[in-house]
Homo-oligomer: A and B are copies of this chain.
Amino acid sequence: MDYRTGQRIVAETARRTESRYGNRPTMKDVAARAGVGLKTVSRVVNGEPGVTPDTERRVQEAIDALGFRRNDSARVLRKGRTASIGLVLEDLADPFYGPLSRAVEEVARAHGALLINGSSAEDPDREQELVLALCARRVDGLVIIPAGDDHRYLEPEIKAGVATVFVDRPAGQIDADVVLSDSFGGARDGVAHLIAHGHRRIGFIGDMPRIHTSAERLRGYRAAMEDAGIPVEDAWMSLGVTDPQRVRKAAEDMLSGPSPVTAIFAGNNRVTVTAVRVIAEGSRPVALVGFDDIELADLLQPGVTVVAQDAAQLGRTAAERLFRQLDGSLVLPERIELPTRLITRGSGELPPSD
């Protein structure tokens, strides 16, 4: 008995010492100070009815005096919903994802939710790790730009009620909502545009074909070439390169081989930027169409013709669908494909140089 009492005093002292820094007032503290019950504080904090103005004022004063802030962790534990959603993308530093993320955030905000986001760095393991960490935090929903191609690990989560929407690329091995740009159609149109301007030897530089958008764009390229009856040479295609040096090498190779290309179709914004550089350094004009719009593209000489997708619209559409899942107004997974838009600015309209 003495021993236990001693223990308690030690614990109490430790707690009090620590409380100067790191312990926050709780509703109980507020209640004690205001001389009311715990639940009354809860009512005031949440704006529930049934509190006299006088009582409310006393409680409010105590709240202000103590600097009380409701602990949402406890609230979540009780209520079950966190009012937060997770966004997993590839790299927030990529200018394509900034507007997308912002759009998701705005929709979340309109629904009173916060956004937690993480970058997968195009690594499937890291994607899974992130997604599961978000699930452990009990986000209400997930917007995922997948890096991996197997999302069966999400099945228990989805079954448990986590709303899920995939963006930019479809989910692997599971049936889920997907919002995509029309990569195939966009690429086909872009390449057809080059063909229409007289090109026949057209290069394609894209990311790894295991990435759905890359594969689709490659398919679009092939389709356009085939439609025009042009056989594609292997030397015209570079797949899986994305870092500037290797893109540079790939572009230089296609421009200098035995049957050099007269035009390049760039599979994404980063490739486009590097391609612009390589072409600008070369002496002869090379036509270029890029997938994804890039800033200042209109100010270059010539302006860069692009197949633009609306990143913000992609994010908005996905987030709205997510919240409709949460409302319960959605039942069956769907695949939504947003159109792309060819923006001609000059580089895609250059005639072949030979």
Contacts and interface: CB of A to CB of B under 8 A. Distances in A.
Contacts of A60: none
B92 A92 contact: yes
A70 interface: yes
Most chain B beta-carbon neighbours within 10 Å: one of A69, A80, A118, A133? A69
A93 B98 CA distance: 4
Contact of A301 (B21, B73, B93, B301): B301
Nearest to A312: B93
Nearest to A126: B109
A153 to B, nearest CB: 10
Contact of A71 (B77, B155, B299): B77
A84 B136 contact: no
Contacts of A61: none
A91 interface: yes
A321 to B, nearest CB: 18
A131 to B, nearest CB: 11
Contacts of A72: 136-138
Contacts of A134: 114
Contacts of A109: 118
A92 B71 contact: no
Nearest to A269: B295
B137 A21 contact: no
Interface in A282-300: 294-297, 299-300
A95 interface: yes
A53 interface: no
A156 interface: yes
A105 interface: yes
B102 A161 contact: no
A11 interface: no
A164 interface: no
A116 interface: yes
Interface residues of A, number: 59
Contacts of A105: 92, 117-119
Interface in A100-122: 101-102, 105, 109, 114-119
A286 to B, nearest CB: 14
A241 interface: no
A26 to B, nearest CB: 11
A91 B101 CA distance: 10
Nearest to A20: B159
Contacts of A330: none
A67 B22 contact: no
A159 to B, nearest CB: 7
Interface stretch (A179-187, A211-219, A272-280): A272-280
A42 interface: no
Nearest to A92: B102
Contacts of A155: 67
Nearest to A95: B95
A92 B23 CA distance: 33
Contacts of A280: 299
A296 B298 CA distance: 11
A297 B76 CA distance: 47
Given A67-B156, A295-B273, A21 B161 contact: yes
Contacts of A119: 102, 105
A24 interface: yes
